[in-house]
Structure 1
């Protein structure tokens, strides 16, 4: 990639970003070294740097050569620390970017560090730190306090340290300047931030040590990760991406790091994914448990069970990352990524009825118990209450997995209810659930028979999206791994889905999604690979995986959707996409054995 000092007239492509995290928030950096997304202090906070959604007033951190340059970048092996090499006609500079972590985990403040090393020749670099309007809610200002450079916006305090020469721009509160980087030199630019509390300003020497410590922390985490099967590098990178989305203070797992990145050029389908979906949490926990990652598994299970205990009938499909999180939708008067709005915070789907979520919840409890753990007494009762509730409600229409507004009898929702009752029976057999497993078995059989009768189309040769209709839905592929069907009907459904929803190796979510302007949904393609393996077609599953793994961006990340040409759409990085990759790789590896 070649770039000049001239600021692009439009936001960077979604696929041009890498992600950094510290267990509390996530920063996105484009190929030019610009940080254009960073909420402070938490992932679901208003973004202090948000040029990704508001090019003019959103705020950014810049570090790049003045002259034309090319870039090469990669994560340091086994880490979420990014190394970028900028090469100009006069020399090369290496920048190492990290959200710094402490000796015992995340720091009590945000510390974003940029180590700048001269590789060859001499390169003049532009740098700046310019907070934005937090989606139009606040106005930043700059000040000097006892010789320190301080930026403030709302209750957020930002300190800029490490580079001696800086200019303040009164018209756009920011600090910035130019530095001359020569071969063998090493300097560090540090941005620290707190919210509604005093601000710690670290010494440059300690920051430099902190970058190395952060690398070591990530490497230590990766050494506990156990997987040596096919696509190992992609699986590990996906696990590292999921680790970025795990909100350490509570154990909640965010669906993505952003809000309002559009699913279609037409706009309108712009959602906030900085919430924890029960579905995504369930898939993540199954993967974490199989990798032997005990702390994350326990934290996420505990968070989920705390969220839902006491009211199994009121189980929500998503929850905030923090107790103070609000899902109440709010629109913001900013243009959006490349002018495609709206920009929103909150998520209107929070109170939808989705029956499949019960299968997700009880599969979490089963995965945890099957890994050798013991459920507490209230959780045992919760399992029983949820199973009994499913026996009563599975006949109801719902919004389905895709959060549609019309209530219908969605096939994958019924299959999810079957999955919930199967999990409850297995938990009872393990001695980790109370209740009436015989009732659960009878109702599970009724659900299975009902789906076979009402949700199968002889004309299409496929399980349909909803009972009695001829639309197709890729989410039924999830129920090859769940065990609902691994026979001829699932094989025929796969063929039908590839005919109607397939575009090369990619799949749309459901009938009509393409007509609505959507792009293929990344996770669906990985679900297809898993389903192919489950029906015994391992060679086709492996061939599809090879293609899909190659479609990640240059640092191994995926968004929610992508075009056949590799253009990313939707929020990023997307947990469900990376979960699909992990599950497919594990499923194929297991069935090969």
Structure 2
């Protein structure tokens, strides 16, 4: 089974696939990020579906890389017989999604082997495979996959096998296309043309932004490409990760489905996109946000499917063994029904930033914002499940209260800075009441605590100066940052919280949370410890894979990645930390970070 850091992502801005270092495509959901997987070997064995394309002798590749600033993957093997390269990509989608794999002979004569094992519905459904002229069709109910290749194909043990030899200069294409089961055969795809257009598409997108991050610009660009790959282009929604159920502890039960759009994660990603001048994608996100939160504010959820679907029932797939035996494997996410008070603050913070960056008319979202904050006024004093979606009893989480303060603060500022209507004095009064309550009930021994009446810490407290609740040099901020660094780290990296204090009843522990560690970078820089911030940032770059990809967590004992991948939260943190360090300043969440595009001046 592949290590999480062995997984490379390719995608078409509507879904994504994961390819390991042995040339096996082990995860792909079609036609959308959250559709059932047709290759699910990542969460079981190869019998759950995969697509291997590698030298017949097998083994880990010699090297791999993305071609320039694109999402086109090149995997190379140097064998005793010669050198061969496999180029993997998902063309930017036309009518149907495609996976293109091109075998390139570099030197010598290398025997190759392909094994295509299609299993629809997360490994559960074996399709009917038949020939349609020169193409192969795998059909089962609502799904069909069509394979085109000049290479020889043969059926073996409910898989399709291809054995051939590639010589220097040879190029052998494979194209796999999904259609609904009731559709006719899709048009043929020219692999070479698809490769050229995909390279050009990614290069054009990168060039449309700005190169930011100073000496870390390469890492920032790769993170921005990854965030773009997690974007569902037709709707503007951004998924938290490509995968479900990659564990926070190998063999443990903390396995969740991250193939949905969290309002919180998406809002943070907006800041990263604006940092590099990608205003079109930020504007698409804003339109997505306004659509999904429209309606009764009482029905606001913390997450949605990329098309805005609200019902995300959590199910367990008991026929899958899980990554490294980590069960249960889950689809859907029960946290969608939780009360998390911070989400309204994050939404209003994001809309305030979008308005400041000129992404929409000053008042086109204002009625919705007024409705949200009016509803929050009746909720903010309730306990909730908090940023980390803890499944124990609700509590009065300090971060949640701080974000309620943010909601009212951004409404006050929005009304005054953009001349928008509203009960500004009343909003100010509620904002100040929340602030006073947090400082009275959320501070112990001169530092912020995870929840009222608790002495526990929470990494989300590192965000308090970022949202402007307290200045970076405030004694409570300094004491909190130092306490988190001292008491909530393992090997210098940050835990979200102490799992034993979560109250969720789940056994085991988890790795350090990479996004939280980037927050500590920002906080250390904010309190004047720039050298320590840079050292931690460099350490975090070392947690990325050889392709620059980050998952959700890191196991400092085993030195490997944990959790769903690639993780938007982690890559957002990398971008913002790099830009802040490069510019030598501490950014506020409501101020655009980095160099703004023409027509969108950066705020002070």
TM range (shorter): over 0.9
The equivalent residue for 1:127 is: 114
Q: Would you say 1:537 and 2:529 are equivalent positions?
A: yes
What RMSD in Å do the two structures reach over aligned CA positions? 1.8
Q: Match for 1:387 among 349, 366, 373? A: 373
The equivalent residue for 2:26 is: 36
Q: Would you say 1:437 and 2:421 are equivalent positions?
A: no
Report deviation, 1:58: 1.3
- Gapped regions of structure 2 (runs ≥ 5): 502-506, 587-604
Report deviation, 1:472: 0.7
Q: Would you say 1:87 and 2:74 are equivalent positions?
A: no
Q: Match for 1:365 among 345, 351, 361? A: 351
2: CA distance, partners of 1:479 / 1:58: 45
Report deviation, 1:421: 1.4
Report deviation, 1:40: 0.8
Cα gap change, 1:325 to 1:168, in 2 (>3 Å) = farther
Three-state SS of the structure 2 residue aligned to 1:61 is strand
Three-state SS of the structure 1 residue aligned to 2:378 is helix
Three-state SS of the structure 2 residue aligned to 1:469 is coil
2: CA distance, partners of 1:584 / 1:432: 33
1: CA distance, partners of 2:399 / 2:96: 43
2: CA distance, partners of 1:80 / 1:395: 46
Q: Would you say 1:581 and 2:574 are equivalent positions?
A: yes
Report deviation, 1:36: 0.2
2: CA distance, partners of 1:28 / 1:136: 16
On the 8 A contact 2:139/2:181 being kept in 1, the answer is no
Three-state SS of the structure 2 residue aligned to 1:447 is helix
Structure-1-length-normalised TM-score = 0.93
The equivalent residue for 1:77 is: 68
The equivalent residue for 1:138 is: 125
Between 1:184-193 and 1:517-526, the stretch displaced more is 184-193
Report deviation, 1:587: 2.7
Q: Match for 2:464 among 479, 499, 505? A: 479
Aligned length: 574
The equivalent residue for 2:169 is: 184
Report deviation, 1:323: 4.7
Q: Match for 2:8 among 9, 14, 18? A: 18
1:500-539 aligned within 5 A: 500-512=487-499, 516-539=508-531
On the 8 A contact 1:411/1:467 being kept in 2, the answer is yes
On the 8 A contact 1:68/1:88 being kept in 2, the answer is no
The equivalent residue for 1:3 is: none
The equivalent residue for 2:546 is: 554
Q: Deviations over 1:152-179 (max 9, x none)?
A: 233111111123311112x31x322211
Structure-2-length-normalised TM-score = 0.91
Report deviation, 1:29: 0.3
- Gapped regions of structure 1 (runs ≥ 5): 1-10
On the 8 A contact 2:251/2:324 being kept in 1, the answer is no
Q: Deviations over 1:439-491 (max 9, x none)?
A: 22222122111111111111xx4211001111110011112211112222111
1:130-169 aligned within 5 A: 130-169=117-156
The equivalent residue for 1:227 is: 211
Q: Deviations over 1:109-159 (max 9, x none)?
A: 111111111111111111122112422543312111234211123311111
1: CA distance, partners of 2:491 / 2:381: 36
Report deviation, 1:542: 1.5
Q: Would you say 1:404 and 2:396 are equivalent positions?
A: no
2: CA distance, partners of 1:237 / 1:373: 24
Q: Deviations over 1:362-398 (max 9, x none)?
A: 0111111111233475511112222233333221111
Cα gap change, 1:111 to 1:374, in 2 (>3 Å) = closer
Q: Match for 1:98 among 89, 103, 126? A: 89
Between 1:484-493 and 1:63-72, the stretch displaced more is 63-72
